[in-house]
Amino acid sequence: MSTTIPTRVLQTATVMIAAVLICSAAKAGQRSSDDASRTESGYLTPVEAKLSVDGTRLYVVCEDADALLVVDVRTKKVVGRVAVGHKPKDVAQSPSGQKLYVSNEWSDSVTEIDAKTLKVIRTIPAGWGPVGLTTDRSGKTLYVANSIGNDVSVIELATGSEKKRLASWRSPHHVLLSREGKYVFVSNMLGHLGPWDQAPVSELTIIDADKQIIGQRLQIPGVIALRHIAQGPSAEGDDLVIPFMRPKNLNPLIQVANGWILTHGMLVLHPSSEAQGGYEISQVLLDDIDEYYAGANGVTFTPDGSRILVTASEANIVSVIDTAKLERRIKAVPREELPNRLDSAATFLEKRLETGANPTAVAVSRQSDRAYVVNRLDDSLTVIDLTRERVEGRIDLGGPKEESTLRKGEKLFYSAKFCFQRQFACVTCHPDNHIDGVSWNLETPDLGKDRVANRTLRGISETAPYKWSGHNPDLETQCGPRIAKFLFHSEGFNQEQLADLIAFIKSIPLPPNRHLAADGQLTLSQERGKKVFFQKNCDNCHPPATHYTALRSFDVGTANRYDTSGMFDVPQLDRIYEKPPYLHNGEALTLEEIWTVFNNEDKHGVTSDMTKEQLNDLIEFLKAL
């Protein structure tokens, strides 16, 4: 005999179960964000190094160890270690060198350290995801780029309080104080949110350090992944150099076989009162015609200005550039041609030196005789004798001697050697294991069709199937022969490598949720949005129990003329606020646009009857997931 349960009871029960699941998911998110396994793995994972003001020590930031290491330059030994916050990314020094400031990306704080005693003085709150930082010339103010908040905290060091936040653009990364102290330069990793079928535009944000306001936003077309910033000596014209990646994302990826789809280089900004924006901006490629140097990242001038060192973090190379020859090249080739000239590097390059795995940063001694390259995945520094331009040795920072599966997988993820002509690695399009913010024309049966936005790799282990089409049932399929054939155009990974790589990808954690209170309590707006979420049956396709994805495809009316199918894999909603643009092709630049612009047929939920207030609340709830 069957029993009929009233619909209302079922609905109530559904909401209650969902609420429990939301709480569980929120807690799970917190747990995974702790990322305990990585910290306890013993790996140091150095990401940044700066020479002390007196040049005797190297301060090395280790993101998986939550530590700052101090290396004696003379003895090449680690002589100190300071525990800092979670996921430290950069270190800055006071002008005297007496104090150090370490940004803690996942703790949303800065650790202030006494450089002499190596004692932590205090922890200073910053914005969301602090990364690059610098003091001003007086040492009274600290500028901190917040990668998640998309802004820069201006911190008054006397009080340790934040005076203001200045909007940068997307994922601000590195920060440099100009030599004379008038400007603070901020590079942005991701390009502007713009038309999905256009080439990206990135920004160098320039802060007026006297007024502490945004002075200028330099728009850089065609490039993304602006990383470190270096300024040449005055004698060399105060030029700025900034590594970049130049994606040809509008071309079908079948072009990988012909090269030139992703190129890597650096901006050269020459101050000029005659140039619009005050700088003559040149984009110079560092690749060779038949071999690429992916992951342009760390950069520095030698103090005498004669050379520039740039790390190719996915090729395990540091390129040594002759500044005078570079200048001649820039003058010789029309500026509009230069970004696409793969024959440039040969004209100014002095050496390509091999480093350890994943060289992310480089520092040069004041005497211009030594360079120290940070090998992120080797827990080491490569020491380069700049007089002879050869690798002199290696400084072991003390990580485990045996490679774990995860570390092997991570090295594969960060290595471009599996791609035809080493054009790119997995991480090239997934910087920080996340997104590059652009839409790609992948190789599909119909060339030029099915352009898709990049998807994050954070927290995806339980969200199969993969790809927007949902055609890949598991990561083995996603990352195996298909990637080899359609992306890398090479042999790809062998079975053992594939297993390591997938283990690593599955271990990529979700970062902490900045929109969710520490106790998991929803705000009033989020509570209201939660009701809207369930009243509108959003959970049908975005069930809380499975990371807010039904693990299958639906047609929500978002296909356009480029799409061969209207069925798209339901994306997980965890940390959705970190992932614009939205929808399969990145057409929706904001969460609002998903419903205000791209849901005219009410196929992506019946939302046309929603009030603006309800939509705002719904979005606040989604951001809490």
Partner 1 sequence: MKYRQVTLAIIPGLMLLLSTKGRAQESPLYTRWENFTTANGMPDDKVFQAAVDGERVWVGTENGLVLIEKGKIRKVYNTEDGLANRVVAGVAVDPASGDVWLATFGGLSRFSGGEFRNYKNFTSGLANDIVYAVAVQGEFVWAATTAGISRMNTRTGEWSIFSEKNAPLHEPWCYGIAVTDKKVYFAVWGGGLLEYDIAGGWWKPYNDPDGELEIVLFQNQGLLHDIVSNVGYNPDTNIIWASTYFGLSGYDGHNWHNYLSTDSALASDFINAVQSRGDEVWACTDKGLSYLNFKTGEWITYRPAQGGNGGDIVITTLDKKVEHRQSSTTLAHNYVLNLAFQGDDIWVATAKGLSHGMREPNPQSIKEGNRNEHKPASR
Contact between 205 and partner 1 by CB under 8 A: the answer reads: yes
* Interface stretch with partner 1, choices 77-85, 114-122, 212-220, 566-574 (CB under 8 A): 212-220
**Cα separation of 25 and 28, whole Å?**
5
* Interface stretch with partner 1, choices 205-213, 260-268, 281-289, 455-463 (CB under 8 A): 205-213
Contact present, 152 and 142 (Cβ < 8 Å): no
Minimum Å gap between C-beta 131 and partner 1 is: 17
The strand pair at 67-72 and 57-62 is best described as: antiparallel
- The string of DSSP letters for 347-373 reads HHEEEEEE-SSSEEEEEE-TTSSEEEE
DSSP letter, residue 154: E
In this chain, which of 66, 136, 151, 239 binds partner 1, going by CB under 8 A? 151
Taking CB under 8 A as the rule, which mask of x and - marks residues 358-397 in contact with partner 1?
A: ----------------------------------------
Contact between 404 and partner 1 by CB under 8 A: the answer reads: no
Can you read off the two tokens belonging to residue 206? Answer: 């320039």
What SS3 class is residue 487? helix
Q: Site size for partner 1, by CB under 8 A? A: 36
Nearer to partner 1, 398 or 520 (CB): 520
Give, as ranges, the residues between 544 and 603 that touch partner 1 (CB under 8 A): 577, 589-590, 592-593, 596-597
Helices (H), ranges, 470-510: 475-479, 481-482, 495-507
Contact between 84 and partner 1 by CB under 8 A: the answer reads: no
DSSP letter, residue 340: G
**Cα separation of 577 and 572, whole Å?**
12
DSSP letter, residue 567: E
* 21-25-28-33 Cα dihedral, nearest 10 degrees: -170
Q: Taking phi first (over 0 means left), then psi (-120 to 50 degrees means alpha), and beta for anything else, what does residue 129 get?
A: left
Nearer to partner 1, 392 or 593 (CB): 593
Nearer to partner 1, 203 or 436 (CB): 203
* Interface stretch with partner 1, choices 19-27, 390-398, 463-471, 610-618 (CB under 8 A): 610-618
Give, as ranges, the residues between 260 and 289 that touch partner 1 (CB under 8 A): 277
Contact between 163 and partner 1 by CB under 8 A: the answer reads: yes
Taking CB under 8 A as the rule, which mask of x and - marks residues 506-545 in contact with partner 1?
A: --------xx---------x--------------------
Contact present, 345 and 338 (Cβ < 8 Å): no
Contact between 211 and partner 1 by CB under 8 A: the answer reads: yes
Contact present, 189 and 431 (Cβ < 8 Å): yes
In this chain, which of 11, 12, 161, 219 binds partner 1, going by CB under 8 A? 219
Minimum Å gap between C-beta 217 and partner 1 is: 4
In this chain, which of 38, 50, 86, 165 binds partner 1, going by CB under 8 A? 165
In this chain, which of 167, 257, 332, 606 binds partner 1, going by CB under 8 A? 167
Minimum Å gap between C-beta 160 and partner 1 is: 18
Q: Residue 316 to residues 294, 301, 357, 420, 421: CA-CA distances in angstroms? A: 9, 19, 6, 16, 14
Contact between 215 and partner 1 by CB under 8 A: the answer reads: yes
Minimum Å gap between C-beta 616 and partner 1 is: 4
Contact between 33 and partner 1 by CB under 8 A: the answer reads: no
* 125-131-132-134 Cα dihedral, nearest 10 degrees: 20
**Cα separation of 226 and 244, whole Å?**
5
**Cα separation of 347 and 286, whole Å?**
10
Minimum Å gap between C-beta 271 and partner 1 is: 16
Contact present, 584 and 452 (Cβ < 8 Å): yes
The residues binding partner 1 (CB under 8 A) are: 127, 149, 151, 163-167, 205-206, 208, 211, 213-217, 219, 277, 514-515, 525, 577, 589-590, 592-593, 596-597, 612-613, 615-616, 619-620, 623
